[in-house]
Amino acid sequence: MAEMISYEPATGAELWRGIAGDVDGEVAAARAGWTDWARRTFEERAEILRRFADIVRTHDDSFADIIARETGKPLWEAKGEVDAVIGKVGISIAAYGERTAQRSMEGALGARNHVRHKPHGVLAVLGPYNFPAHLPNGHIVPALLAGNAIVFKPSEKTPASGAFLVDLFHEAGVPETVIRIVQGGRDEGKALAGHAGIDGLLFTGSAGAGAALSRQFADTPQRILALELGGNNPLVVWDTPDIAAAATIVVQSGYLSAGQRCTCGRRLIVRDGAEGPLLEEVGKILDRIIIGGPHDEPAPFMGPVIDNDAATQVLAAYDRLVANGAVVLRAMTRPDPAKPFLTPGLIDVTNVADLPDEEIFGPLVQLIRVPDFDAAITAANATRYGLAASVVTDDAALYDRFWAGVRAGVINWNRPTNGAPSNAPFGGVGISGNHRPSAFYAADYCAYPVTSVEAEEARATIGQGLLQS
């Protein structure tokens, strides 16, 4: 089996070493364990997962440290991710009760009609590297509550965080046969997704990978596929009197997590000729941004991107835009060629012909100037994606027009694009997903409804179409 090594992006130090997993063996183990788990009552499963939340809380510092070191994100951000892992349990229990509650109704001839839900069986979960605990956990917890078993493959870039998460589930009392881990890369992910022993796949990642999985699942409609994908998200700033607040929202939207959030604001859309004060305020904030390692003091606003390959890809995309006519307002640089730290970039792409509709997963914001608000909505919708969108304006009527006219699964007003509550559905349209929103609505794809017509005694009549006896 292939050896795997995880390095800290901020320092280059080795963090974790292991070997790629056995997909066949892990799926077989999960298949052997899931029926017993499914037969337990929901209350039993919920109690074990409440214990999991308590266990995570006792290990919160160690967990945050591993996440921060493996992703390069600031420690304060990693602590927030661990808090989200803890909070997901209570939210998922509430969501299960609301979204998949048992219902009973009066039926014909004294029968009763019941709606209940059953688990799918064994679900594969493929996790991303940007939130290596919170995002896969967002699939795993509701799937376990519903009675499924899990085979989890973390991103090959964050195996240590994934392993730590699974160990905490086991420590809390989730049987080892009920949640399994497969370490590995593209080959293991493809093998797991196509394995005959799984009943579905829950995936968070890029739109390209999601499209490949859709093709892979085309011949198996009996298996559930839930895709949570990326975005080329617009942020419109329009006639707002508080330029400082608007600039702060721009920076939070575009550069939080070094631009490695699927909801980051990629395209900044403004009224042509009125952008000067906003760009000046954004520049003042960018001048103050601290870029550094997870444990640096003072704490950084953003760390590196995940690795050197990612840094090279982001810079290459930036260079292509500049070569095609983008005007550099704030140059993106790589201070140390041996490490994946990038400085925030801001470019004006208004006059770039055939502007690529792509998710550049790093700290780059593209400015687009338009003549009026209708053109701003048109520009916002000029994408195959449809994950997040936000407008900054004091005019409620403009927000109403924006909400009605923009195609996205998350639409915010006077808030960053990357602000989405965990107690609400989360997902996009277009190539940002396959209409299976996660977060509070994850319960919908973790169990399937069963309708039953039930009567204590057999009673039946045929009223028409029979010869007289």
With pLDDT > 70 as the criterion, what percentage of the chain qualifies?
Answer: 100
One domain for residues 249 and 190 = no
pLDDT tens profile 317-366: 999 999 999 999 999 999 999 999 999 999 999 999 999 999 999 999 99
Range in 15-29, 35-49, 413-427 the model is least confident about: 413-427
Average pLDDT of the chain is 96
How much is the pLDDT for 353?
Answer: 92
Which among 37, 99, 144, 118 has a CA at the least distance from the CA of 450?
A: 118
One domain for residues 223 and 237 = no
Model-level pTM? 0.96
Asked whether 363 and 343 are in contact (CB, 8 A), the reply is yes
Does a structural domain hold residue 425? no
Asked whether 30 and 181 are in contact (CB, 8 A), the reply is no
How much is the pLDDT for 112?
Answer: 83
Residue, of 38 and 452, whose pLDDT is higher: 38
State the pLDDT confidence band at 101, using cuts at 50, 70 and 90.
confident
- Here the tokens at position 433 are 């997903």
How much is the pLDDT for 113?
Answer: 86
Query: Domain containing 391: what range?
Result: 233-413
H/E run at residue 237: strand 233-237
Cβ neighbourhood burial of 448 (10 Å; 0-12, 13-18, 19+):
middle
Does a structural domain hold residue 420? no
Does a structural domain hold residue 426? no
How much is the pLDDT for 102?
Answer: 84
Report the CATH number at residue 142: 3.40.605.10
d(CA 130, CA 176): 26
State the pLDDT confidence band at 394, using cuts at 50, 70 and 90.
very high
Question: What integer is the mean pLDDT of 99-105?
Answer: 86
Number of structural domains found in the chain:
2
pLDDT tens profile 305-321: 999 999 999 999 999 99
Q: Is the pLDDT of residue 109 over 70?
A: no
Residues present in the chain in total: 469
Q: Is the pLDDT of residue 376 over 70?
A: yes
Coil vs helix vs strand at 330: strand
One domain for residues 48 and 196 = yes
Which among 457, 455, 454, 459 has a CA at the least distance from the CA of 115?
A: 454
Does a structural domain hold residue 469? no
The DSSP string of 272-302 is: TT--HHHHHHHHHHHHH--B--TT-SSPPSB
Q: Which residues contact 379 (CB under 8 A, 6 or more apart)?
A: 234, 267, 269, 368, 370
Range in 55-59, 163-167, 387-391, 459-463 the model is least confident about: 459-463
d(CA 216, CA 209): 10
Q: Which residues contact 283 (CB under 8 A, 6 or more apart)?
A: 329, 330
One domain for residues 22 and 153 = yes
pLDDT tens profile 276-305: 999 999 999 999 999 999 999 999 999 999
How much is the pLDDT for 1?
Answer: 65
pLDDT tens profile 110-158: 778 889 999 999 999 999 999 999 999 999 999 999 999 999 999 999 9
d(CA 302, CA 355): 27
Does a structural domain hold residue 428? no
One domain for residues 117 and 133 = yes
Q: Is the pLDDT of residue 422 over 90?
A: no
How much is the pLDDT for 361?
Answer: 98
One domain for residues 277 and 386 = yes
The DSSP string of 182-224 is: ----HHHHHHHHT-TT-SEEEEES-HHHHHHHHHHTTT-TTSE
Does a structural domain hold residue 85? yes
- Any idea which residues carry the catalytic annotation? 228, 262
pLDDT tens profile 178-227: 999 999 999 999 999 999 999 999 999 999 999 999 999 999 999 999 99
Q: Is the pLDDT of residue 105 over 80?
A: no
Q: Which residue has the tokens 């107690």?
A: 423
